[in-house]
Amino acid sequence: MHIVKCRALMTDSARLCCRRSARIFYGTPQNFRRFSILPPPRDKEEKILLDSMLRVDHAGEYGANRIYAGQMAILGRTQAGPLIQQMWDQEKEHLRKFDEILGENRVRPTLLLPVWNIAGFLLGAATALLGKEGAMACTVAVEESISEHYNSQIRTLMEADPERYMELLQLIKEFRDDELEHHDTGLEHDAESVPGYLLLKTLIQTGCKAAIYVSQRL
Whether residue 143 is annotated as binding a ligand: the answer is: yes
Closest CA to 87 of 193, 203, 178: 178
User: Does the annotation flag 192 for ligand binding?
Assistant: no
Sign of CA dihedral 26, 100, 160, 63: negative
Residue 179 counted as an annotated binding residue: yes
Question: Is 148 among the annotated ligand-binding positions?
Answer: no
Identity of the amino acid at 162: P
Q: Any binding-site annotation on 133?
A: no
Residues marked as binding?
Answer: 61, 91, 94, 143, 179, 182
Q: Which residues are annotated as a binding site for Fe cation?
A: 61, 91, 94, 143, 179, 182
